[in-house]
Amino acid sequence: MTPPASDAVDEPFILPVASGRATWRRLRRLLKEQRRPVVVVMCIQGVASAAGLVGPRVLEDVINNTTRAGESGRIDAAVAVFAVALVVATLLTGLSRGLGAVLGERVLARLREDLVTRVLDLPMGVVERAGSGDLLTRASTDVDDLSYTVRAGLPQLLVASVTVVLLVAALVWTAPLLALALVPSIPVVVASARWYLRRARPAYQREMASFARVNSDISESVSAGRTIEAFRLGPARVAQTDRHIKTWIDWERTTLGLRTVFFGASEISYVIPLVLTVLLGGLLHLHHLLSVGAITAAALYAQQLIGPVDVLLSWMDEVQVASASLSRVLGVHEIEPAPTTTAEPIDDQVAAHALHFAYHDDRDVLRGVDLVPTPGSRVAVVGPSGAGKSTMALLLAGIFPPRRGRVTVGGVDAHLIPPTRLRREIALVTQEHHLFAASIADNLRLVAPDASDAELYAALDAVGAGTTVRNLPRGLDTRIGSAGSVLSPGVAQQIAIARLVLADPHTLVLDEATSLLDPGAARHLERSVARLLEGRTVIAISHRLHTANDADVIVVVEGGRITESGSHDQLIAAAGPYAALWRTWQGEPGVEPAAH
Ligand SMILES: Nc1ncnc2c1ncn2[C@@H]1O[C@H](COP(=O)(O)OP(=O)(O)OP(=O)(O)O)[C@@H](O)[C@H]1O
Ligand SMILES: [Mg+2]
């Protein structure tokens, strides 16, 4: 099987994939945690399989004895034993399958929980760089593939392994010479399995990575639909997606080819033992070395082997898919989690010292930013587009760690403070508020789990949404968000701001891209935000100078540096860049404010 020429995985950055060894280690650890149920399932299945072996032995006895006369009593007894063994085997097999399924679910639950816990601990920067598509595929498609194998496969594999071992033992015991009939199949199975296994794992991984990329393409195209239309990027996006789909299909074909060869070879290996048992048995019988009964029993055992061996081999394929999925799921564990500290901030002072930051290694977007706002004061940040204002906001809020320099909150590095803790110190407010598909109360209690209804209403009142919510038929219990949204965007935004009131951080960083909103909505929002700002330190990125000029300190950012700072009057007197911006903005009609 030649893999497709165009390789799917040439992304500049994809999340790591766990190695075969690491995947095995983790799987063994998981099974070890479940040692008792594993042993119980195997023991029960052992007894069930042993009971299944009784049939052929009884038949052997019957055949050998009916050749003599007057043995009907013995036959009745034999049939009774056969029947009892069959019932026992059936019941116990059912029981072991059931227990095995429970075991599978447990292992799966563990894997899922571990993944979610880990994903939540990932550094924002990593997710940002890798794109959310890959992570999404791992948490959805990969976990689904895995769940099928673990749920259905794990119990069947345990059962089949036990059965194969017992059947081979029974065959050897019944007619050691006939056990030789199994031998020719072994190289066929081993060779085809080795051939397959060597190729399958990387091929499935590539197939899944190429599918993840198609997934990324499509979800990106959907979420950036407007931009794509605005820049007429449609045909280019379609062409790119087509190309990625083609690569994906090529990998699908490759893996299909692998399966076709492998399954063909294994079918042949099933028939060989059966044919050889009968041939060899006939030969031995002609030389009076073996009874007809023993041949029958051996042939039945050889026939019985087909079932469990087929289960093992066909699951090997699924196991390949699953192990590729598992290594992608476990790969998430190989990313260093965001470091955290238990140190507690000692005061309300936010400070940035000599900040350097780059999105890509080659170019610093921030180049030595110092900012130490007086607690309780209002700092306005102005500057041309692309100067690094939003980047500075992300660093101040601890979302990205600085490449050099420090951002501290009460003396502790901001990016080391666990996010939920940090939000009670400093919060970044942008136009993108997210409300979850849950009740209004649930959305608010995310940041204040112990808040009473009265406290929730107080926060809503503070942003001017209290009355609106009180008038809803179900009040705080109203379900909002994607499922059954009942709120206007304005009210939704107010609720998001009320959530910040409840989080009660001492410092707020506002990155107001008010250009996204119509002027009415912007004014509405400003009124709600005004209450939020009272009594807090505010670092406001202002695109319009009139919101900047009443700040305590105005900071001008240009080219990743703070080039000027002071009060409005000081900066006007200094006649530097701010004064120039101000004149442009104030004076000449028809000239757009340069700071926008
Ligand atoms: N996610 C990103 N990946 C790579 N580069 C980025 C990213 N975000 C911003 N940049 C780059 O970093 C620089 C600073 O961008 P930033 O968004 O901080 O500027 P800004 O001052 O907020 O601009 P604006 O006034 O337009 O909002 C720009 O050159 C921008 O292209
Ligand atoms: Mg910006």
Q: pLDDT tens, 349-393?
A: 999 999 999 887 778 899 999 999 999 999 999 988 888 999 999
23-70 pLDDT, tens per residue?
888 888 888 888 898 889 889 988 988 888 888 888 888 877 765 656
Inform me whether the pLDDT recorded for 591 exceeds 50: no
| Residue that the structure tokens 């849950």 belong to | 438
**Alpha carbon nearest to ligand 1 atom 7, residue:** 359
The count of C-alpha atoms lying within 13 angstroms of the C-alpha of 223, restricted to the half-sphere facing its C-beta, is 8
Residue 518's pLDDT is 59
> Which atom belonging to ligand 1 lies closest to the Cα atom of 560?
14
Inform me whether the pLDDT recorded for 572 exceeds 50: yes
Residue 582's pLDDT is 84
Distance from the alpha carbon of residue 387 to the mean position of ligand 2, in angstroms: 8
391-409 pLDDT, tens per residue?
999 999 888 889 899 999 9
Instruction: Provide, rounded to the nearest whole percent, the portion of the chain with pLDDT above 70.
Output: 91
Task: Identify which of 91-95, 546-550, 581-585, 592-596 has the greatest average pLDDT.
Answer: 91-95
Cα 514 to chain centroid distance, Å, stands at 34
409 forms beta bridges with 350, 412
Residue 104's pLDDT is 84
Q: Which residue has the higher pLDDT, 526 or 18?
A: 18
Q: Which ligand is nearest to the CA of 386?
A: 1
189-205 pLDDT, tens per residue?
889 888 988 888 789 88
**Alpha carbon nearest to ligand 1 atom 4, residue:** 359
Distance from the alpha carbon of residue 136 to the mean position of ligand 1, in angstroms: 25
**CB neighbour burial string for 20-41, b if at least 16 within 10 angstroms, e if fewer:** eebbeebbeebeeebeebbeeb
Q: Which residue has the higher pLDDT, 70 or 505?
A: 505
Confidence class for position 19, pLDDT limits 50, 70, 90: confident
Inform me whether the pLDDT recorded for 10 exceeds 80: no
Confidence class for position 8, pLDDT limits 50, 70, 90: very low
Question: Residue range 81-103: average pLDDT?
Answer: 89
Residue 524's pLDDT is 67
126-141 pLDDT, tens per residue?
776 777 778 888 888 8
Q: Which of 57-66, 325-334, 463-472 has the lowest mean pLDDT?
A: 57-66
Question: Is 390's C-beta closer than 6 angstroms to any atom of ligand 1?
Answer: yes
Give SS3 for 409: strand
Show Cβ contacts of residue 19 under 8 Å, excluding neighbours closer than 6 positions. 327
Question: Residue range 287-292: average pLDDT?
Answer: 88
**Alpha carbon nearest to ligand 1 atom 29, residue:** 386
Closest Cα partner for 196 from 421, 469, 339, 1? 1
Q: What is the rounded distance in angstroms from the CA atom of residue 594 to the CA atom of residue 526? A: 22
Residue 451 burial (CB count, 10 A): 16
Question: Residue range 547-559: average pLDDT?
Answer: 87
Question: Residue range 274-296: average pLDDT?
Answer: 90
| Burial class for 118, CB neighbours closer than 10 Å (0-12, 13-18, 19+) | middle
Residue 70's pLDDT is 60
Inform me whether the pLDDT recorded for 319 exceeds 90: no
Q: Helices marked H in 287-358 — which ranges?
A: 292-331
Residue 11's pLDDT is 44
Distance from the alpha carbon of residue 559 to the mean position of ligand 2, in angstroms: 13
Q: How many helices (H) and strands (E) does the chain have?
A: 21, 10
Question: Residue range 556-570: average pLDDT?
Answer: 92
Averaged pLDDT of the chain: 84
The count of C-alpha atoms lying within 13 angstroms of the C-alpha of 22, restricted to the half-sphere facing its C-beta, is 14
Please tell me what DSSP assigns to residue 559.
T
Question: Is 386's C-beta closer than 6 angstroms to any atom of ligand 1?
Answer: yes
Inform me whether the pLDDT recorded for 455 exceeds 90: yes
> With a threshold of 0.85, does the pTM exceed it?
no
Question: Is 367's C-beta closer than 6 angstroms to any atom of ligand 1?
Answer: no
Distance from the alpha carbon of residue 392 to the mean position of ligand 1, in angstroms: 10
Inform me whether the pLDDT recorded for 596 exceeds 70: no
User: Is residue 378 a contact partner of residue 540, using CB atoms and an 8 Å limit?
Assistant: yes
- Kindly list the protein residues that place their beta carbon closer than 5 angstroms to ligand 2, a single-atom ion: 390
